[in-house]
Amino acid sequence: MADLKIQGLAKSYRDVRVLEGIDLHIASGEFFTLLGPSGCGKTTLLRTIAGFQHQDRGEIIVKGERIDNKPAHKRDIGMVFQDYAIFPHLTVAENVAFGLKARSLPKAAMDQRVDESLKMVRLEGYHARYPAEMSGGQQQRIGLARAMAIRPTLLLMDEPLSNLDAKLRIELREDIRDIQRRLGITTIYVTHDQEEALAVSDRICVMNKGNVEQIGTPFEIYRKPVRRFAAGFVGTMNFLPARAENGRLMVGSQSFPFAGLQAERAIEIAFRPENVILANRPLDEEVLHLRAEVRKVTFLGREAHYMLTTEAGEIVAQVADPSSDFIDMEGKPVDICLPLAKIVLFDRNGDLVMTGAAR
Ligand SMILES: Nc1ncnc2c1ncn2[C@@H]1O[C@H](COP(=O)(O)OP(=O)(O)OP(=O)(O)O)[C@@H](O)[C@H]1O
């Protein structure tokens, strides 16, 4: 069992603060993903945990013991890199055995561990091949087998799939998730791909500019964003300017009763494209009504996407399994409904004001 605590971790490169004081607690066996845009500090955080670089302040604690004063090779960490970082002059088996040699395992035990690791990543029988004779996906499987062969306490993965094509990415991410679950190894996974993060993680940490914006399960991050940044970064989110005033919500020229919105201020309403209902029809739930014009319809088979101009701004809507009436709407006016339970309100600082569900 290996949980990981990170407390007040800060790092600067010269004058530039890259990690602003990160606090995390990752449970034993958890698949924990660092998600954020390029340059937000994900790799720096991962490399600091691995011991490839040192923090300016803060602590890294595994199983209750500080590891941040240990050199990288004493931290018992397996690492998988974006560019595979396997040795071209070594065979597949030699690559996988690499970390075991440093641990001076007897030959028979080492061979057994190599066999097991290759089986785990579905590369049985490839022992004698060289990496150049393998595909990108297979090379990354070697990287994964090598990291796992040492039975590390922590597995760290830095964008392991980003050099692979879309189909392979999905296949390998499923394999990574299966192996991680089977072995119950505490894993920190770095990606800037939000769909990948939603698909594999137990919890996601959304990062921005060296700070943690939100930590939650994929469901919480997608459905209950607590910061505007997380709302906009994960999936597609519509934002419209609005006003709160005396228990009412004002969007464009429309005004709706909204318990809890007393203080007068400028806010934003946020909602997902799949929650926009086109055409004004009787509904069981409470909704906001807005008039809009359809600027563009994109038919994608099982769904259609709509670019709409409302009086409060541009939005995107998505309709599943659209009928033919819904395809021929370009240039036409339309009434739209936004279920109150599905909208989220943010203030000017990007902090959550309240959700429609919590009225
Ligand atoms: N060795 C270094 N010296 C100076 N600045 C660095 C160094 N390494 C990274 N940085 C800077 O620190 C910031 C964070 O980089 P980092 O690689 O951690 O981000 P990231 O979120 O992993 O981004 P990406 O997804 O592009 O890899 C960036 O602005 C980067 O330019």
pLDDT classification of 83: cutoffs 50, 70, 90: confident
C-beta atoms surrounding 165 within 10 Å? 10
What is the DSSP secondary-structure string of 6-74?
EEEEEEEETTEEEEEEEEEEE-TT-EEEEE--TTSSHHHHHHHHHTSS--SEEEEEETTEE-TTS-GGG
Whether the pLDDT of residue 1 is over 80: the answer is no
Residue nearest to atom 2 of ligand 1 (CA): 13
Q: What is the pLDDT of residue 279?
A: 78
Ligand 1 site, residue 349, Cβ cutoff 6 A: no
**Percent above pLDDT 90 for the chain:** 77
Q: What is the pLDDT of residue 282?
A: 66
pLDDT classification of 242: cutoffs 50, 70, 90: very high
List the domain boundaries for the chain.
2-230, 237-355
Residue among 16, 38, 40, 44 whose CB has most ligand 1 atoms within 8 A, to mutate: 44
Q: Do domains 2-230 and 237-355 have the same CATH topology?
A: no
pLDDT classification of 102: cutoffs 50, 70, 90: confident
Q: What is the pLDDT of residue 280?
A: 65
Residue among 13, 48, 53 whose CB has most ligand 1 atoms within 8 A, to mutate: 13
Ligand 1 site, residue 37, Cβ cutoff 6 A: no
Residue with tokens 């890199």: 81
Hey, what are 23's tokens? Answer: 């606090």
Contacts of residue 135, Cβ cutoff 8 Å, sequence gap at least 6: none
What is the DSSP secondary-structure string of 96-128?
HHHHHHHTT--HHHHHHHHHHHHHHTT-TT-TT
Q: What is the pLDDT of residue 25?
A: 97
Whether the pLDDT of residue 262 is over 90: the answer is no
What crossing angle do the helices spanning 92-102 and 107-120 adopt, rounded to 10°?
Answer: 130
Residue nearest to atom 16 of ligand 1 (CA): 41
Distance 218 CA to ligand 1 centre (A): 25
The β-bridge relationship of strands 186-191 and 154-158 is parallel
Hey, what are 300's tokens? Answer: 């994608």
Q: What is the pLDDT of residue 28?
A: 97
Average predicted confidence (pLDDT) for the chain: 93
What is the rounded CA–CA span in Å between residue 124 and residue 299?
A: 44
Closest CA to 230 of 239, 238, 221: 221
What is the rounded CA–CA span in Å between residue 206 and residue 21?
A: 15
Please, are residues 36 and 206 in contact by the beta-carbon 8 Å criterion?
yes
Q: What is the pLDDT of residue 5?
A: 97
What CATH topology corresponds to 237-355?
Answer: OB fold (Dihydrolipoamide Acetyltransferase, E2P) (2.40.50)
Residue nearest to atom 5 of ligand 1 (CA): 13
Residue with tokens 């990291």: 147
Q: What is the reported pTM?
A: 0.92
Which residues are registered as beta bridge partners of 270?
A: 239, 344
What is the rounded CA–CA span in Å between residue 159 and residue 173?
A: 11
Distance 18 CA to ligand 1 centre (A): 7
Q: What is the pLDDT of residue 158?
A: 96
What is the DSSP secondary-structure string of 137-192?
HHHHHHHHHHHHHT--SEEEEESTTTTS-HHHHHHHHHHHHHHHHHHT-EEEEEES
Helix or strand run (H / E) with residue 219: helix 218-223
Please, are residues 304 and 327 in contact by the beta-carbon 8 Å criterion?
yes
The β-bridge relationship of strands 154-158 and 77-80 is parallel
pLDDT classification of 261: cutoffs 50, 70, 90: confident
The class level of CATH for 2-230 reads alpha beta
Residue with tokens 């010269």: 14
Q: Kindly list the strands in the beta sheet with 254-257, ordered across the sheet, starting from the edge strand earlier in the chain.
A: 254-257, 248-251, 238-245, 265-271, 344-346, 352-355
In terms of phi and psi (left: phi > 0; alpha: psi -120 to 50; beta: otherwise), the region of 106 is beta
* Residues 121-146 pLDDT 10s: 999 999 999 999 999 999 999 999 99
Residue with tokens 């670089």: 53
pLDDT classification of 82: cutoffs 50, 70, 90: confident
Residue with tokens 């395992």: 105
Q: What is the pLDDT of residue 131?
A: 94
Q: Please state the atom number of ligand 1 nearest to the C-alpha of residue 46.
A: 18
What number is the average pLDDT over the span 184-204? 95
* Residues 284-327 pLDDT 10s: 778 899 999 999 999 999 999 999 999 999 999 999 988 887 78
Instruction: Please tell me the total number of residues recorded for the chain in this structure.
Output: 359
What number is the average pLDDT over the span 197-226? 96
Q: What is the pLDDT of residue 327?
A: 81
* Phi and psi torsions of 223, nearest 5°: -95, -25
Higher model confidence: residue 285 or residue 195? 195
- Which range is least confidently modeled, 45-54, 158-167, 209-218? 158-167
Ligand 1 site, residue 47, Cβ cutoff 6 A: no
∠ CA(95), CA(124), CA(160), 5° rounding? 55
